[in-house]
Structure 1
């Protein structure tokens, strides 16, 4: 299979995940860029930020037109996580990679188990408490900064369980959080010496954008409860794989 075909397939899967689940983009994009397209880890991380930023912004527009974005809660959530993410990134350089991977696996597993339980907070019209939302956003920013991945996979459970959004609205709102955080991360990397092969990234990003549209339509056809359960089981699988990688 040629590199172009691999880029298109991996990009489509990344986009579907972001469009339907509001997360998983970087967790899918980075391994695909490294193991399928031969990118270095540094180049893969930078390239994935470009892919995730473009795809999340596109999917966000689609979810916004469907009225599935809580702008006030999402803006507070995203803004609160910017500084903790930067501080967490500085701390992560001093921690062993196995510890980081294992910590993320545990946090992702706990979030998934919480989502598998019926949530009494998943309802329409719930008032947004800025302090509570900012606290959750800051916590997510710190975790994302330290662990380097998982913004979307952790944002959706937090938006459902802490903020009290319905699953569909949480998915759309998480795309706002991902877009803001990805743009901030890209800005921090401006002027770096990392070389990115744009001949592979461009088709990857294009396929991801198209996949995001399909993912949004898929989300519109599935009940919120089923979507939440599918998301939780996918998150559990990711957690198990990452924990195995940390232990081995």
Structure 2
């Protein structure tokens, strides 16, 4: 029965990541804690491994379609590395109840952001805009104002990744569309690249800690997530993004309420 549950949750995580470029960790962490019985510190580390591995395959798929801004994505990942390492170290010593309580707050905030973003996208067509270049290599130049915004968002996403075991895509995608003016398809693919880099950094930040991971669970969960993410990547190109985001926002709100209630009863 547990294997079936792992597969089902893995499929959901992969579909969400493939279609929205975000949200995989936000689903996997509460599932690992409340459905599969893992301690929060182990669940967040497990989530990083799963999300990072799934992200690699999703990035390849989106990259082949030309929907990854490699320079922007790598810059986000490098700038967010410090935050991811810091968050990882804090997470290993944080009180489990505090971690879950803050995670419930994060879920509610994310649901609100996703719902608001879906309404904004109904009034604008981001695919018609040309992305603003804040960083170029040849010749090398940096837009200081947007560079600072990227640094702030990347660092914040890194902290969220390291501490909660989530990719931070819900913050990265809006930043890419609103701050850098990327079309939604390009922002989704680039977000997956950032999520993958942040996840790797987050895992590295937890090396040497006294955490024992269930590798059989990780393998089953990851295989299901990877396969469904490839499906999600194809589906996402044919479904209204606003509708997807609203459905995801409702799901996050329900999970947030459940997480908060469960934390109080622990």
* Same fold (TM > 0.5): yes
Identify the residue that residue 128 of structure 1 maps to in structure 2.
133
Q: What's the CA shift for 1:151?
A: 0.8
For 2:45 and 2:108, locate their aligned partners in 1 and report how far apart those are by CA, in whole Å: 26
Q: Which runs of 5+ in 1 are unaligned?
A: none
Moved more, 158-167 or 56-65: 158-167
For 1:146 and 1:38, locate their aligned partners in 2 and report how far apart those are by CA, in whole Å: 19
SS at match of 1:221: coil
For 1:6 and 1:244, locate their aligned partners in 2 and report how far apart those are by CA, in whole Å: 18
Identify the residue that residue 108 of structure 1 maps to in structure 2.
110
User: Structure 1 residue 173 and structure 2 residue 190: aligned?
Assistant: yes
1:128/1:46 Cα in 2 relative to 1: closer, same or farther (>3 Å)? same
Whether the 8 Å contact between 1:74 and 1:174 is mirrored in structure 2 is yes
Relative to the length of structure 2, the TM-score reads 0.79
Relative to the length of structure 1, the TM-score reads 0.84
1:196/1:140 Cα in 2 relative to 1: closer, same or farther (>3 Å)? closer
For 1:204 and 1:51, locate their aligned partners in 2 and report how far apart those are by CA, in whole Å: 7
Whether the 8 Å contact between 2:18 and 2:233 is mirrored in structure 1 is yes
RMSD: 2.8
Tell me which of 129, 138, 153 is aligned to 2:155.
138
Q: What's the CA shift for 1:234?
A: 1.4
- Residues 29-108 of structure 1 correspond to what in structure 2 (within 5 A)? 29-88=28-87, 93=94, 96-97=98-99, 100-101=102-103, 103-105=105-107, 107-108=109-110
Moved more, 152-161 or 14-23: 152-161
SS at match of 2:120: coil
Q: Which runs of 5+ in 2 are unaligned?
A: 136-146
Moved more, 201-210 or 144-153: 144-153
